[in-house]
Structure 1
Amino acid sequence: MSRPEIAVTGIGMVTPAGTDTPSTWQAVCAGTPTATTLAQLAGMPVDFGCTIPDFQPDLVLGRRTAYRLDRATQLILAAADEALRDAGLDSRTWDGNRVAVVIGGSLNGAQTWETQYQRLRDHGPRHVSALLIPMIVPSTPAGEIALAHQVTGPSLVTATACASGATAIVTARDLLLSDQCDIAITGGTESSITPFISTGFAQLGVLSARADDPARASRPFDQTRDGFVMAEAAAALILERAHHAAARGRRPRALLAGSGSTTDAHHPTAPHPQGHGAKQAMRNALADAGLTHHDIAHVNSHGTSTVLNDAVEAEAIRTVLPSGPMVTSAKGALGHSLAAAGAVEAALTVLSLEHDLIPPTVNLDSPDPGFDLNFVTKAAAGQRIDAALSNSFGFGGHNVVLAFRTP
């Protein structure tokens, strides 16, 4: 029996470029950078990042719900709500036992950890919130989506550092293929731009130091790149078997045709210098999707703007995809949203397939001459796209590649 096709039927995004999918897509295609100096990071080694200033959780979720949730959970709840509306699904009418929730997370609860510790330090135990533990438990984002939409099937959070959102999508696909659910709400979330976490990344030497010009600090694949810019975001995708979507009259926005996941087993934070794991993940995704390098017109790259990661990824793309697909990185515009990045970029890849349009890599003014890739710069590029890859790589050597194609 042939394997069923997996359809993407809904998308929801809350990013520094907008509080929904249309506004995010418009800003990313326009090449609008979002990094700015942040008051909460005043006095820190790096005092800028990409936040979502227009997100109002009290209005979006209701005051009582917003009050008891960490911001990372607030963001993914909003993204999931949009994705469900986009898919034409109403949780009041479905069989919750046939629905799954799989969300990628890494530093979920970071804002709550930091603020509540400050209360303990400055005012004593009585001032620590009674909601502290449910706010910071890593599984909370998935659990809260399940609670909001009466999902009684599988629910879990995946953690593979900056590949977590992509790992969640792979896991959700597996649940659908094994017939453990008919609908999967999946994606990733992150909101950890705090003094403590930002300082930790700065101490690792992976953040850009361009405090004099934050908007131009994230420079994926540029020869002057000096590190990534922290961001917050959430993105949700609704996955269904294609015949299930067709039975309720929904045409897929795209098909999740395949995936590849590997581990470098090389270093706690640095990628394998020859990119063996990244290359194999890309090859595995192609094989799983039944595609060749000739089929891939576009790669939505991980493209962090760090010296090592960009070099390794560029070599991997050039080796595995010698036909020269058009390459972009959303992190020039949106910054690096860690666990959410793979989900945000998967959603953008689906939109590129839909619109035959590839957003530019913001701030890529002087591509590193050693990379020899077909980068999209300056302006969005119109291009017929029948199949595309979305790359996600994370600390710990996690490599996840998603293959999408048109229906």
Structure 2
Amino acid sequence: MERRVVVTGIGLVTPVGIGTETAWKNICAGVSGIDTITRFDAGDYAVKIAAEITDYNTEDFFEKKEARHLDLFVQYGVVASRMALKDSGFAITPDNCGRVGVITGCGMGGLPNIEKQHNALLNRGPRKISPFFIPMVIPNMASGNISIDIGSKGPNLTLTTACAAGTHAVGEAFNYVKNGTCDVVISGGTEAVICGLGVAGFSAMKALSTRNDDPKTASRPFDKDRDGFIMGEGAGMIVLEEYEHAKARGAKIYAEVIGFGLSSDAYHIAAPPEDGEGAVRAMNNALLSAGVRPEDIDYINAHGTSTSLNDRGESRAVHQVFGDHANKIAISSTKSMTGHLLGAAGGIEAAFLALSITDQIAPPTINLHEPSPECDLDYVPNKVRKMEIKVAMSNSFGFGGTNGSLIMKRM
């Protein structure tokens, strides 16, 4: 008998709030977490806005000495995982720790620390490089430190598939629980690369919005005036658990994960195919994995980055996959509020998907005032929608042409 997989815990550290209750309340209220950059002096930069986490205090979660050796992306991941595990009510013990895994997604690792240590090397010489430099910045230090923090001794993996990393991590966690490798996996994504080098790099690609004079309206997925994405930071972690295991301990269940699909565009390192062909295959593979029909999908949390190419390609892909049913699906991009958390995006959006199913609510796509002619679907503009959501999907597409789609359903 195939094992079923359910979401029993959620932890969120986001630009719209720390903690699931706060973040979800603000998402449903259409609150934007985007503002002028404070992390560094962006005065000479073309892009001066980002979705920073401004209410995070390291000392609320870590001792000073410990925090000095943990990059911010690692801290966010550890904190979100602690929240998710506490929310699940599951206790890791010496008897069960070998059946508990950690699988995280991360796009770029400790980029701000790379920038900082490189400056130290150039200005003060090699003796000024911290011995903690390498262990602080490599992407798998999030999953490694989470495992150490919570005491899990099962699989410990990190996927670095750009903006699809969080979704791929949750999808792999789903497979590990489904196939019996683990009973519980803490999974999601974490990222913290708002620094001069990161902003300058994406800006050089012309990928970021330059709506510096009005940050709150800068992220406008599917709108005709969209001009690029907004860099965000944070972490979203969920606890995936085998259903009978969760049921036996009386766990709260948010939703059941039923499908995961992935694909490659094999087209371009940064641009999707105009017809969204790779996204089409990822969504179709997820539907096949879940054993549901296209017309069973009620809601999609879109990748929806607010870039011209992505929003057009995703809209075309949805039309191809769902046919006449496409116009009946509620679709929203929570990136309109959180910005784009890169490797962490799929983690927080998987959490939002589970919460949408639990509360039977489709969050809004804010700043959508005049849809682009090539984006002609129901994007839940500007206001939260109470609706029946039995089955829902979340999409993530990353540089390198890597795609992932998750499907969850109401229990």
TM-score, structure 1 normalization: 0.98
C-alpha distance in structure 1 between counterparts of 2:377 and 2:364, whole Å: 14
User: Residue deviations 1:335-380, cap 9 Å, x none?
Assistant: 0000000111111011000001111101111111232201101210
After the TM superposition, list the runs of 4 or more consecutive aligned residues in structure 1 that deviate by more than 3 angstroms.
none
C-alpha distance in structure 1 between counterparts of 2:59 and 2:68, whole Å: 8
Aligned to 2:353, what secondary structure does the other structure show?
helix
Aligned to 2:61, what secondary structure does the other structure show?
helix
Q: Is residue 347 from structure 1 mapped to residue 351 from structure 2 by the alignment?
A: yes
- How many angstroms does 1:62 deviate by? 2.6
C-alpha distance in structure 1 between counterparts of 2:368 and 2:205, whole Å: 24
- How many angstroms does 1:91 deviate by? 2.7
- How many angstroms does 1:179 deviate by? 1.5
Q: After superposition, where does 1:8-407 map in structure 2 within 5 Å?
A: 8-39=7-38, 40=40, 41-92=42-93, 95-321=96-322, 322-323=324-325, 324-407=328-411
- The alignment of Structure 1 onto Structure 2 pairs a total of residues equal to 406
- How many angstroms does 1:58 deviate by? 1.7
- How many angstroms does 1:63 deviate by? 2.1
Matched residue, 1:4 = 3
C-alpha distance in structure 1 between counterparts of 2:395 and 2:192, whole Å: 21
C-alpha distance in structure 2 between counterparts of 1:18 and 1:105, whole Å: 20
C-alpha distance in structure 1 between counterparts of 2:252 and 2:73, whole Å: 30
C-alpha distance in structure 1 between counterparts of 2:373 and 2:385, whole Å: 21
Q: Which segment drifts farther, 393-402 or 90-99?
A: 90-99
Instruction: Say if 1:104 and 1:167, in contact at 8 Å, map to a contact too.
Output: yes
CA RMSD, aligned part only? 1.1
- How many angstroms does 1:94 deviate by? 5.3
Q: Which segment drifts farther, 114-123 or 150-159?
A: 114-123
C-alpha distance in structure 2 between counterparts of 1:180 and 1:370, whole Å: 44
Instruction: Say if 1:61 and 1:78, in contact at 8 Å, map to a contact too.
Output: no
- How many angstroms does 1:127 deviate by? 2.2
C-alpha distance in structure 2 between counterparts of 1:298 and 1:289, whole Å: 15
- How many angstroms does 1:267 deviate by? 0.3
Aligned to 2:407, what secondary structure does the other structure show?
strand
- How many angstroms does 1:126 deviate by? 2.5
- AA aligned opposite 1:161: A
- AA aligned opposite 2:10: I
C-alpha distance in structure 1 between counterparts of 2:86 and 2:353, whole Å: 20
C-alpha distance in structure 1 between counterparts of 2:188 and 2:62, whole Å: 18
- How many angstroms does 1:64 deviate by? 2.7
| Alpha-carbon spacing, 1:94–1:208, altered in 2? closer, same or farther (3 Å) | farther
Aligned to 2:136, what secondary structure does the other structure show?
helix
| Alpha-carbon spacing, 1:211–1:68, altered in 2? closer, same or farther (3 Å) | same
Aligned to 2:319, what secondary structure does the other structure show?
helix
Instruction: Say if 1:318 and 1:372, in contact at 8 Å, map to a contact too.
Output: no
- How many angstroms does 1:65 deviate by? 2.4
C-alpha distance in structure 1 between counterparts of 2:95 and 2:101, whole Å: 12
- How many angstroms does 1:158 deviate by? 0.4
Identity of paired residues, percent?
A: 39
C-alpha distance in structure 1 between counterparts of 2:197 and 2:138, whole Å: 19
Aligned to 1:148, what secondary structure does the other structure show?
helix
Unmatched 5+ stretches in structure 1: none
Instruction: Say if 2:3 and 2:180, in contact at 8 Å, map to a contact too.
Output: no
Aligned to 1:341, what secondary structure does the other structure show?
helix
Q: Which segment drifts farther, 390-399 or 173-182?
A: 173-182
C-alpha distance in structure 1 between counterparts of 2:187 and 2:350, whole Å: 11
Unmatched 5+ stretches in structure 2: none
- AA aligned opposite 1:90: A
Aligned to 1:200, what secondary structure does the other structure show?
helix
